Structure 1
């Protein structure tokens, strides 16, 4: 895949990491056309992240995994999987299409293997969150899989990437986990004091 290519785009207030899957309900006419065109051409499509009503320059590139339901009027529920994180360089309308297209540039991450400090924090946080239950081993052992398991809201995920070099992602995630562990520790300590009193 070249660094810059043109894809159909579907702006959404969803930001996800490579490997994550999520469901979309397609009901607008333009996006019915987009999904049908993408399935016919076996292409992917881009999702610029919408923050406070505005499409941002960063988002993800997804492929359709399955169509779960489809009605007679063309509405459908689809499951998509994130393939890459991207920058949207341009967005434009085409007279022959109801939806927009955009030129996208892949965001390059030099190394997606989580470092030892991040792995330690992840393990500690998951034990605290899941009340001592040992977390499942990482299948692909990459930083995106780790981040996806934290179940972070889209705006928080986006803040890890927005206006940062991709290599800063691990640092941002490490800082996030450090803070979450401190909050969880304080919450548990306050709960213990309440029980004792």
Structure 2
């Protein structure tokens, strides 16, 4: 399905169901958000990476106008809806200050994925090593999108994840990443423990020859 969306390119990747807070200060994007609020319509955040638009992004809805400043700036809360691929890009959109374009909506099935157990075990291990509290809801679909920002992916890798068509593909990508990261983090923790031991009295059992 193709639709036309106002577009707000950003140097980040947003996933479906993700909450994103934005401070709106540029005139063109103040116009965009004001129109979304007035018409109750959506807009798109295409990822802007390495000074270009590679093509994929996420359709967003404005869920809350948190604050409007006297000079027109705004603090808003938004939520990711659907993934899209840009078909044509117009900068600016006809008669507007902001850009826009026709996009192809990417339908994503809310699948659980076949690698859920393996991915969950590795995520729990990483969060334990990092001493980070994170609730992993295995009963909720699209686990890959919900955990992707927390595990140290580069923005290029986060973008690649956005373009993958199935939850199985996304879970396999995260597992490959965690297989690389976990040994590094584990060794860092061992190094930190060794550093903590230096400079302290140690109770050592005498060696028996």
Offset at residue 165 of structure 1 (A) = 4.3
Aligned residue for 1:116?
117
8 Å Cα contact 1:86/1:105 also seen in 2: yes
Aligned residue for 2:127?
126
Q: Determine which of 66, 69, 75 is the counterpart of 2:67.
A: 69
Q: Determine which of 29, 41, 44 is the counterpart of 1:43.
A: 41
Once residues 73 and 194 of structure 1 are traced to their aligned partners in structure 2, the CA distance between those partners, rounded to angstroms, is 52
Residue aligned with 2:140, SS: coil
Asked if residue 89 in structure 1 is aligned to residue 94 in structure 2, the reply is no
Aligned residue for 1:9?
7
Aligned residue for 2:142?
142
8 Å Cα contact 2:66/2:74 also seen in 1: yes
Once residues 153 and 105 of structure 1 are traced to their aligned partners in structure 2, the CA distance between those partners, rounded to angstroms, is 25
Residue aligned with 1:24, SS: strand
Aligned residue for 1:169?
170
Once residues 17 and 166 of structure 2 are traced to their aligned partners in structure 1, the CA distance between those partners, rounded to angstroms, is 17
Q: Determine which of 21, 24, 27 is the counterpart of 2:25.
A: 27
8 Å Cα contact 1:8/1:99 also seen in 2: yes
Residue aligned with 1:18, SS: coil
Offset at residue 122 of structure 1 (A) = 1.4
Offset at residue 38 of structure 1 (A) = 0.9
Unmatched runs of 5 consecutive residues or more in structure 2:
199-209
Q: Flag the structure with higher strand content.
A: 1
Q: RMSD of aligned C-alpha atoms?
A: 2.3
TM value normalised by structure 2: 0.80
8 Å Cα contact 1:108/1:166 also seen in 2: no
Aligned residue for 1:104?
103
Offset at residue 147 of structure 1 (A) = 2.6
Residue aligned with 1:16, SS: coil
8 Å Cα contact 1:48/1:60 also seen in 2: yes
TM value normalised by structure 1: 0.84
Once residues 185 and 170 of structure 2 are traced to their aligned partners in structure 1, the CA distance between those partners, rounded to angstroms, is 22
8 Å Cα contact 1:46/1:59 also seen in 2: yes
Output one character per residue of 1:29-79: Cα deviation in whole Å (capped at 9) or x when no partner.
111111111111111100111112222201111111111111223111111
